[in-house]
Amino acid sequence: MTVDLAIFTVRGDQLMVLLIERGVEPFLGRAALPGGYVQKDETLRDGALRELWEEAQVDGGRLHLEQLGAYGDPWRDPRGRVVTIAYLALGPDLPTPVGGTDARRAYWAPVSEVINGVRELAFDHPAILADALEEVRRKLEYTAVAAAFCGETFTLSELRTVYEAVWGQYLDPSNFRRKVLKTEGFVRPTGERRLPPTGRPAALYRRGSADLLSPPLLRRVDES
């Protein structure tokens, strides 16, 4: 029984996922999602948090962590029957982590490159990553987790950039602002402002109390 983690962050205007280069067999040297065995006395969530730290030196306290599901096809691991519980983590632009015990190194990779097959992942991690990606995209529609990608305080432009990076589509700044501000509990103004490199200062917000957005903030379906 193992846990595997799909850890996402937004850097610049790209959605990134944390990958490791495996330092042990099987799939030695191959790219993979961080993860490892669950210990006997810990919860699945605690196991995920521990692996997060061991393999990538990422502190779980600051990021959103939720279970994605169990992957247990008998042939998914060449070593034999290994069921893995996949977790989804979202965090602000984190420092590039160093490798851990079972990982030669850890690094952020653009999700688009991994999905396109430019990098080949070990095990059934391509499927896990695909499911995780769809889940994040869906979560942004129906919940207020997008703020988990931002720092403690953020501007509405930063928040919009998160949506654009995750969904891969342009959003009208004005309509986005209207939707976010009139959705009760989405964000809470701090009263402070931040100066962009150029242009008018932007108001700063912090995450609100709401978890669900109703009505949701739907992405366009066409995407041609």
Partner DNA sequence: CCCCTAAAGGTCATATTGACTTAAACACCG
Partner DNA sequence: CGGTGTTTAAGTCAATATGACCTTTAGGGG
Identify which range of 9-17, 62-70, 109-117, 214-222 contacts DNA by CB under 7 A: 214-222
**Residue 156 within binding range of DNA, rule CB under 7 A:** yes
**Residue 210 within binding range of DNA, rule CB under 7 A:** no
Phi, psi for 160 (deg, rounded to 5): -65, -40
Closest to DNA by CB, 83 vs 203, is: 203
Burial of 171 (0-12, 13-18, 19+ CB in 10 A): middle
Using CA atoms, how far apart are residues 5 and 156, in angstroms rounded to an integer? 28
Closest to DNA by CB, 178 vs 188, is: 178
55 within 8 A of 35, measured Cβ to Cβ: yes
Closest to DNA by CB, 111 vs 204, is: 204
Residues 6+ apart with CB under 8 A from 121: 19, 30, 31, 32, 33, 114, 129
Q: Quote the least distance from Cβ 214 to its own copies, whole Å.
A: 6
* Residues that bind its own copies in the complex, under the rule CB under 8 A: 1, 38, 40-44, 67, 69-70, 72-74, 81, 83, 85, 142, 214-216, 218, 221
Taking CB under 7 A as the criterion, the residue among 24, 201, 211, 212 binding DNA is 201
The one-letter amino acid code at 219 reads R
Identify which range of 19-27, 43-51, 54-62, 201-209 contacts DNA by CB under 7 A: 201-209
Using CA atoms, how far apart are residues 68 and 131, in angstroms rounded to an integer? 8
Phi, psi for 110 (deg, rounded to 5): -60, 130
Closest to its own copies by CB, 73 vs 120, is: 73
**Residue 193 within binding range of DNA, rule CB under 7 A:** yes
SS3 of 47, please? helix
**Residue 172 within binding range of DNA, rule CB under 7 A:** yes
List interacting residues with DNA (CB under 7 A): 155-157, 172-175, 177-179, 182, 193, 195-196, 198-203, 215-218, 220
